[in-house]
Structure 1
Amino acid sequence: MSPRRRTTLRDIAESLDLSVNTVSRALADKDAVGVETRRRVKAEAERLGYVPNTMARSLVLQNAMTLGLVITNPSNPFYARLISAIEERGRTRGYSLMLMVTEDSVDNERRAAEELMRWGVDGVLAIPVQHGAEHWERLRKSGVPLVLLNRDLPGLDVDLVGVDYYAGARAATEHALSTGATELYLVEEDLDISPVAERIRGFRDTLAAHGLGAPDDAVVRVDSPEDVSVSIPFDPGPAYGLGASLARRAGPGAVVLAGNDYHALGLCRAFSEQGLRVGVDVGVIGHGDHPFSAYLDPALTTVRLPAPEVGRAGIDRLLEHVETAAGSGGSDGAVTGPTHTLLPPELVVRASVPGTAGGEH
């Protein structure tokens, strides 16, 4: 069976013996068309299965009503919440979302930027790979507004909206010290990205502010497997694998900060198998406040990240640029000079650190 031809405005017009212009105005609820005619046109459009051709409309209006979102890892729970917030906010403003996944590959990111330019999207939100900015510079110079999310690209003259990872690491480290921790470790991904760098900086600066040194081996890196797609869900396995050796190093009262809650999950399992009681003999603090964190035993103290707030602030900023560009007849969409907006995370205290109460506060 051959596919059915798409219903057009002309089909509706011929069916009702009206002009195409009248049908178009009726569907757009223009006052120049009578109420009864509008009712008949909409009923016939429904009967024939008419769907407006958004691409044709965008060519006429020179506005695709579509935004690009370039993301590294959609299975990351933080990014999943970010996408939902962006899509919901965009939908209320009449915009559709075109999602591109890079899996932290600069080649994939370059292709995504080129595809979005070809599709003529109205603006782009991007979590950059952080290895090369030439393709983003080309996109920006082509007149497509760009806002970065969560990761910075120094030298690229655009807005950034993200999380204050430095402040989150400082809050977690201060909390560990306030409970009387005798040793502190930070377990982080072996990735050259700004959130990791900022957490390490916050950890070290907090220790220095208390007159404490942080030996090189206080920051423990978890290998990121190169043969596994980063778009699969986070895996507690690598952190679990190094947990046994870390348990042998950690003395009584040690607290281990983890770069994400999945690492914390792996560490908790490893420590338990080595005979260490999390929340009694050793402390663990996560990062992310993923849904399972409150249901571990003991419940995990962690840093809650403002994913929806980042998403909404990012798309709001982008749409300011989009609307300014449309109003000025195709400028680069500059609203003001580039801004860096870092939203504060929240420390959620539960029971996984010795000397703290078990309830969230």
Structure 2
Amino acid sequence: MTGGRRTTLGDLATRLGLSVNTVSRALAGKDGVSERTRALVLDEARRVGYVAAAEPPAPERVRSRTVAVTIPSATHLFSSELIGAIEAGARAAGYSLDVFTTEESGEQEQAAARRMIDNDLAGAIVIPVRNRTEPWAEVLAAGIPLVLASREVPALPCDFVTVDNTAGAYAAVRHLLAQGCRTIVQFEEDLGISTIDHRREGYARAMAEVPDAVAHTILVPTRRFETAEPRWRATEAHRAGLALLDRRLDYDAIVAGDDYFALGALAALTERGVRVPEDVRLAGYGDHPYSAWLNPALTSVRIPARLIGELAVSLLLQRIAGETGPPVRRLIKPELITRRSSTG
């Protein structure tokens, strides 16, 4: 107590930077509060001499009518299509949408999760930063339903929706092998996330099925941590393509983990007088709108971003409504769009 006035529940919440509802649930021993938060609340209550019995009963939780989505970057086409589908589904169900951009930063991800807990949001659709379990375990412990999109974190017991990236990469490589290619270079971003791991798995599986196929992987330096510049640029893939040509490695195809990387590789090949597809065949990933307008038009794996968003928001709304049961794992089969860059 301070100056003779009894410390209130609101005072305690203000001191801790938490919502009144979170503090009330922690003091009452109710679920939906992480052990770390509960210990913090109890320690502060003892320190200031808070007496819970003097407070009127805390009201039952009133669910927020807001859901959240976290994305790694607002500049990538996948993110914009995903958000559009999620926003439409949430709005139709009477929910508003909060969008958090993490820029692949664990600190920004932690801040987004903390705001979700403090504001007692109804639920969230999350593209996690790399393979981090925290802080999303805390969000789940706070009783906020989560659906993971695009990137998987197996340790988190929540629903997950993505494209089958293993199948997508496998289809692209099998297509190149069917065109007679035998030495195929994979251009992939140097970043430890499940989508990239699964694409590399599909590439390796397809190459292993053909005895005389020779595999090479080029890890393209990531640009995602440079917040002052747009991410997903073709610049690094262009540099990697020129370096590959300087090695004078004998290869007849390149498969890229993103259409931007394919764009950079195509520019490098063209500058050095290497013809696509006559000398080297090329395939990308994502089927971005410009891919069909390149010269030659780019073969690419089409990712159904809107469908992923629609399924994710549908699963989230079911969980918000009280749906129970084991976590759902939905893999959507992608479509390989073949064009002249790989077919001649």
Name the TM-score, length of structure 1 as normaliser. 0.75
Q: How far does the alpha carbon of each residue in 1:283-310 deviate from its partner, in whole angstroms, 9 at most, with x for none?
A: 1100001111000000000000010000
Distance change in 2, residues 1:137/1:251 (3 Å): closer
SS at match of 1:138: helix
SS at match of 2:340: coil
Residues 1:151 and 2:122 aligned together = no
2:285, 2:301 within 8 Å by CA — same for their partners in 1? yes
Deviation at 1:60, TM superposition (A): 9.5
- Counterpart of 1:351 in structure 2 is 340
Residues 1:90 and 2:79 aligned together = no
Please show how residues 271-282 of structure 1 align to structure 2 within 5 Å. Answer: 271-282=269-280
Distance change in 2, residues 1:70/1:226 (3 Å): closer
Residues 1:223 and 2:212 aligned together = no
Query: Which of the pair has more CA radius of gyration?
Result: 1
Please show how residues 1-361 of structure 1 align to structure 2 within 5 Å. Answer: 62-212=62-212, 214-215=214-215, 218-225=216-223, 228-229=226-227, 232-249=230-247, 254-324=252-322, 335-353=324-342, 356=343
2:183, 2:214 within 8 Å by CA — same for their partners in 1? no
How well do the aligned residues superpose, as a CA RMSD in angstroms?
A: 2.0
2:100 and 2:263 mapped to 1: Cα distance? Answer: 29
Which letter does structure 1 place at the counterpart of 2:188? E
How many residue pairs get matched? 286
Runs of 5+ unmatched residues, structure 2: 1-58
Deviation at 1:184, TM superposition (A): 0.3
Q: % of aligned pairs identical?
A: 35
- Farther off after superposition, 130-139 or 62-71: 130-139
- Divergent runs of 4+, >3 A: 212-215, 248-253
1:297 and 1:124 mapped to 2: Cα distance? Answer: 41
2:82 and 2:225 mapped to 1: Cα distance? Answer: 26
1:106, 1:131 within 8 Å by CA — same for their partners in 2? no
1:238 and 1:204 mapped to 2: Cα distance? Answer: 23
Distance change in 2, residues 1:66/1:226 (3 Å): closer
Q: How far does the alpha carbon of each residue in 1:72-97 deviate from its partner, in whole angstroms, 9 at most, with x for none?
A: 11211111111111111111111110
Name the TM-score, length of structure 2 as normaliser. 0.79
Q: How far does the alpha carbon of each residue in 1:22-76 deviate from its partner, in whole angstroms, 9 at most, with x for none?
A: xxxxxxxxxxxxxxxxxxxxxxxxxxxxxxxxxxxxx998132110101111211
Distance change in 2, residues 1:252/1:213 (3 Å): closer
Which letter does structure 2 place at the counterpart of 1:154? P
Which letter does structure 2 place at the counterpart of 1:306? P
1:253 and 1:178 mapped to 2: Cα distance? Answer: 15
- Counterpart of 2:26 in structure 1 is none
